[in-house]
């Protein structure tokens, strides 16, 4: 079977921005980068109104993934410190800047302050296709509510998690599966809208982290399934980066 290049799963904003020269991308009006706190446990990147970016204790890898909307399996290469050194970033752009513009500004910041250089390559990987299996056991969600995800154990010492999804689209489910499986997941269910559903997922004894519990094998419980195949996937390779000076 001929291989098919999976280009369309990478966000369009990211593809267009990667082709732009740094001079054509918007930049933050002010930006401060400092070393992160190795003892801190909180790791986050937040984009807020007014063109603001706040990142606490994040790695360069995390900043790149946030700027280009990449999943971990879409980024390779780079210096060793890219995954270990932590940074705190506070930046401000135009008040009217939306989230996509802030991500473009972050791309400019990475090029200017980290001297980030990347290129794209095609690499054969296993990809997953999310499909309907029989009759889907999904309830139409209440409109206007944000999606939520929660998990709870069925009892002390149990090896089962009750995983609950609310107001979740199939595209969002595919995105969550991609992060759990560390591979591309393509939604081909043909189901539109948001849904409520839940799964009983087996987990390791005393493991509280819901993303460690492999709930992807439980998808047939709600009338869905995953199929795998090989395809040429476009990934980003970090050719070089430098640690930024403080200011």
**pLDDT, average across residues 127-141:** 94
Q: pLDDT for 33-86, tens place per residue?
A: 999 887 776 778 888 878 999 999 999 999 999 999 998 889 999 999 999 999
**SS3 for 146?**
coil
Residue pLDDT, tens place only, 102-131: 999 999 999 999 999 999 999 998 999 999
Residue 233's nearest CA partner among 121, 136, 75 is 121
pLDDT confidence of residue 77: 95
Residues 6+ apart with CB under 8 A from 136: 189, 191, 222, 223, 224
Residue-range domain boundaries for the chain: 12-123+236-240, 136-222
Query: Which tokens sit at 223?
Result: 């009338």
DSSP secondary structure letters along 191-213: --SEEEEEEEEE--TT---TTTS
Residues 216, 174 contacting (CB under 8 angstroms): no
Of 88-97, 116-125, 198-207, which range is least confident? 198-207
Of 15-24, 95-104, 131-140, the poorest mean pLDDT is in 15-24
Answer yes or no: pTM beyond 0.95.
no
The mean pLDDT of 151-177, rounded to a whole number, is: 82
CA distance 193 to 40: 39
């Amino acid at each position: 079977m001929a291989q098919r290049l999976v280009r369309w799963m990478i966000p369009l904003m990211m593809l267009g921005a990667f082709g732009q020269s740094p001079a054509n991308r918007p930049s933050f009006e002010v930006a401060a980068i400092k070393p992160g706190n190795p003892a801190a446990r909180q790791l986050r990147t937040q984009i807020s109104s007014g063109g603001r970016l706040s990142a606490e204790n994040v790695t360069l890898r995390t900043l790149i993934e946030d700027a280009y909307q990449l999943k971990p399996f879409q980024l390779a290469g780079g210096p060793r410190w890219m995954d270990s050194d932590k940074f705190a970033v506070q930046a401000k752009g135009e008040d009217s800047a939306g989230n996509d513009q802030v991500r473009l500004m972050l791309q400019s910041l990475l090029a200017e302050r980290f001297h980030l250089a990347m290129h794209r390559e095609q690499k054969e990987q296993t990809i997953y296709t999310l499909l309907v299996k029989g009759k889907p056991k999904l309830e139409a969600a209440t409109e206007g509510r944000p999606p939520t995800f929660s998990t709870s154990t069925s009892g002390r010492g149990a090896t089962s998690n009750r995983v609950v999804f609310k107001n979740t689209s199939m595209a969002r489910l595919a995105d969550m599966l991609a992060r759990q499986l560390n591979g591309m997941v393509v939604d081909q269910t043909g189901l539109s809208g948001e849904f409520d559903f839940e799964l009983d997922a087996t987990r390791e004894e005393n493991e509280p982290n819901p993303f460690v519990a492999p709930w992807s094998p439980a998808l047939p419980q709600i009338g869905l399934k995953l199929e795998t195949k090989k395809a040429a996937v476009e990934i980003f390779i970090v050719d070089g980066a430098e640690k930024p000076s403080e200011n």
